[in-house]
Chain A
Amino acid sequence: MSILEVKNLQTSYNGHIALENINFSINEGEYVCLVGENGSGKSTLIKTIVGLHKKDSGEVILNENLENVSYLAQNNLTDLDFPATAKEIIMTGVQRHRVLPFYTKKDYKDFEEICNLLGIKDFVNKRIGDLSGGQRQRIMLARALIRKPKMLILDEPFSGLDINITKELYELLAKLNVENNMTIIMATHDLDEVKQDNVRVIGLAKKILFDGNISKWRRGAD
């Protein structure tokens, strides 16, 4: 079943076309990597899908409730002096569409689960700015995952991180995809760490240049 459909999408930045004639659909449980050079439009496509960038024309149809979709941006916290603990930040992920001045018991249970899954228990009470880049991105991933989304959308999430942490986080994404049937859409410029074979690659250069299995992409690259 299709969870996301993009039809005839066109977007631009300051009058310059960033993406045109983009058509694809993504089924539930798929693992999709959007690849391309810098400026190819992969981040723009991600931002358009999650509603952070306006489209000029076309359609982005999300066949899933927004509360079941989560987004993880690039690893770039601008204000390291922001006074918030990692726990406070993770908890913002559970809010969904309700307005409550407090969190429920279930929210705290979900918090414990995600801490165990990501191994972040030791530093969740620290100020976010006091954590290393890798630890911070784990916190951001925890925020995205705490609501147990059916679809996770990531925009170059591990760029600039230590290679071992990157490997570990890629393994976690693969596990979530296989074990939880979580749909994953990720913009990346590096497919080396994607080890599984069931990954679909969409190659972008303002238009879709390639849409197929990762093994076919790799053969083409060779």
Chain B
Amino acid sequence: MNIINLLTYPFVQRALICGIAISFCAAIIGVILVLKKYSMIGHGLGEVGFASLTLAMALNLPPLYVSIPLVIIAAFLIMLISQKKGESGDITIALVSSGALAVGVIITALTKGFSVDVYNYMFGSILAMNWSDVILSVILSVILIVVYMVFYNRLFSITYDEKYAKTCGINVTFYQFLISLITALVVVLGMRLMGTLLISSLIVFPAIIARKLTNSFKGMVALSAVLSVICFIVGVMLSFMLNFPTGACIVAVYIVLLLITINFGELRV
């Protein structure tokens, strides 16, 4: 089966449209998270997403209606605890993620009959998206990209030097929560395609690869977005052709690209 034939399938079209929008958003917010040393927040929120999905299934509710508020609350809590208590982000994320995973597993154990769905949620499925998911993902992605562009200078300032930004009168807390909100939405939108265990790769890998290739923040954001979309498309195609989980295939493509980048040294432009 060739690629052109593949593109005629509606579920492939849905996965591609959703995935391109989400991977673009994940990549640009990932730059900030990686540079602010919050790389693991995507993983932590993915676990919260897993717990919320199992809860939604147990209660027979639409997954996104449960996941979106719960993941946003978790993202705000992680940021709040890190700021107020002065704990490093990683500690808070580790606590939240293991706690959420435990809750998800307990709900799964208590509720019979959705082990296949749980597997798909954990590792991603190309069949997970319907047209209403596509519309929601595209609308939210466009909003996130516009917000990111409008606040780009402020977000860069806070990412580079939060203390200096504060002395300039910038409301750092507001932007921290904005970053949390964008991250939470990216995780929720992407987790059914990528899997709750692998959604963080969509956030982290493009930024790490782009960081090795650029000298500027703007360059890193742009390259990260482009690489993310390319890797996503290649990963989805592989996933379909090899009948492997989507998330795992995309991560495999990222790993190959990262190894190539490391192997060829730093080619900063």
Contacts and interface: CB of A to CB of B under 8 A. Distances in A.
Interface string A45-88: 00000111000000000000011011101000001011111001
B125 to A, nearest CB: 34
A99 B150 contact: yes
A73 B163 contact: yes
Interface residues of B, number: 28
B167 A88 contact: no
Given A84-B160, A100-B153, A71 B220 contact: no
Binding site secondary structure of chain B: helix
A127 B215 contact: yes
Interface in B194-221: 211, 214-220
Given A83-B215, A83-B217, A101 B153 contact: yes
Nearest to A129: B215
Interface in A11-69: 50-52, 66-67, 69
Contacts of A102: 153
A92 B160 contact: yes
Interface string B133-177: 000000000000000011111101100110111111110000000
A73 B164 contact: yes
A96 B170 CA distance: 8
Given A95-B154, A95-B157, A85 B167 contact: no
B127 interface: no
A82 B160 contact: yes
A83 B157 contact: no
Contacts of A85: 215-217
Contacts of B152: 101
B164 A92 contact: yes
A101 B151 contact: yes
A143 interface: yes
B163 A92 contact: no
A66 B156 CA distance: 20
Nearest to B163: A52
Contacts of B259: none
B168 A82 contact: no
Nearest to B154: A99
B215 A126 contact: yes
Interface string A84-122: 110011011101110111110000000000000000000
A172 to B, nearest CB: 20
Interface in B21-41: 35
A91 B217 CA distance: 12
B156 A92 contact: yes
9 contacts: A51-B167, A52-B163, A71-B164, A73-B163, A84-B217, A91-B153, A95-B170, A101-B149, A127-B215
Given A69-B167, A85-B215, A100-B153, 13 more contacts: A70-B167, A83-B219, A84-B156, A88-B216, A91-B153, A92-B157, A92-B161, A95-B153, A95-B157, A95-B168, A95-B170, A99-B153, A102-B153
For the complex of A and B, list the 4 residue pairs with the smallest distance between their C-beta atoms, beginning with the closest: A92-B157, A71-B167, A127-B215, A66-B169
Interface of A: 50-52, 66-67, 69-71, 73, 79, 81-85, 88-89, 91-93, 95-97, 99-103, 126-127, 130, 143
